């Protein structure tokens, strides 16, 4: 029983890291979208942030973290309840999409790009990212083609593991930098304290995750997938 509880906690931890990375990507994407649409009239979080283009590095930190965050959960064996986990993820994404279309004032394709802090919109965002996190966690089980593609990506990553290791450290620094820049700007002008708090906390956790994975040498210890034995009979 204790072993099952520990396994479930690790699985939840893995999903939480993926979810946080997706929050970082979504919030940063929204900032970049607004920045490039209004350029050069809006320079966000000045004078603390040197350039909004540095958000691309923070976004990269979150994207790089997803691989090992998902890997934490994939090595754990959780019994299915009726379906694969990705089936529930697809249900969640479909239901959330319908909710956004019919019950929020924003369109589905602009869900993460509009400046709207209403409860209804944020609920839609949270459930959409939760569904995507669950899907990413169970992605290899979606199809054999997906598993083959992910194994190919893992093989390519093994060839540039040192570059990925260094990139994770550098982008993690900028995730921290962007987080603290927004924090200082928000302290000076607290009119957007609540919406800014999501990206501040998310990028801070992204930076911590990056440094933790660098300390564990996660990219340097990655191994290529084991070749599968050919099937003699189908």
pLDDT tens over the chain, length 234 residues: 556 567 778 888 899 999 999 999 999 999 999 999 998 888 999 999 999 999 999 999 999 999 999 888 665 555 555 557 788 999 999 999 999 999 999 999 999 999 888 999 999 999 999 999 999 988 887 888 888 888 899 999 999 999 999 999 999 999 999 999 999 999 998 888 888 999 999 999 999 999 999 999 999 998 887 766 555 444
Please tell me whether residue 83 adopts helix, strand or coil conformation.
strand
Q: Is the dihedral of CA 144, 150, 152, 155 positive or negative?
A: negative
Helix (H, G, I), strand (E, B) or coil at 109: helix
- List of residues 6+ apart from 52 with CB closer than 8 A: 31, 32, 35, 43, 44, 45
Neighbour-count burial of 34, counting CB atoms closer than 10 A to its CB (0-12 exposed, 13-18 middle, 19+ buried): middle
Check residue 140 and report its DSSP letter. G
Closest CA to 180 of 30, 60, 50, 61: 50
Indicate the pTM of the whole model.
0.89
């Amino acid at each position: 029983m204790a072993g099952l509880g520990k396994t479930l906690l690790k699985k939840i931890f893995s999903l939480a890291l993926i979810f946080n990375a997706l929050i970082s990507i979504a919030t940063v994407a929204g900032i970049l979208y607004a920045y490039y649409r209004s350029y050069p009239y809006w320079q966000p979080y000045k004078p603390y942030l040197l350039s909004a283009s540095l958000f691309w590095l923070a976004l990269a930190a979150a994207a790089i973290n997803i691989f090992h965050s998902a890997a934490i959960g994939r090595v754990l064996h959780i019994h299915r309840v009726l379906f694969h986990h990705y089936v529930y993820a697809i249900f969640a994404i479909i239901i959330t999409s319908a909710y956004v279309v019919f019950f929020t004032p924003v369109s589905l394709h602009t869900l993460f790009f509009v400046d709207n802090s209403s409860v209804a919109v944020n609920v839609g965002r949270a459930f959409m990212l939760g569904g995507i996190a669950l899907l990413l966690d169970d992605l290899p089980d979606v199809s054999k083609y997906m598993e083959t593609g992910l194994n190919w990506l893992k093989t390519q990553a093994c060839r540039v593991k040192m570059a990925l290791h260094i990139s994770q450290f550098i982008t993690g620094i900028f995730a921290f930098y962007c987080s603290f820049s927004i924090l200082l700007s928000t302290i000076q002008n607290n009119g957007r304290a609540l919406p800014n708090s999501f990206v501040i906390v998310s990028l801070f956790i992204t930076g911590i995750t990056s440094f933790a994975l660098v300390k564990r040498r996660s990219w340097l210890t990655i191994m290529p997938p084991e070749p599968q034995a050919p099937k003699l009979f189908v």
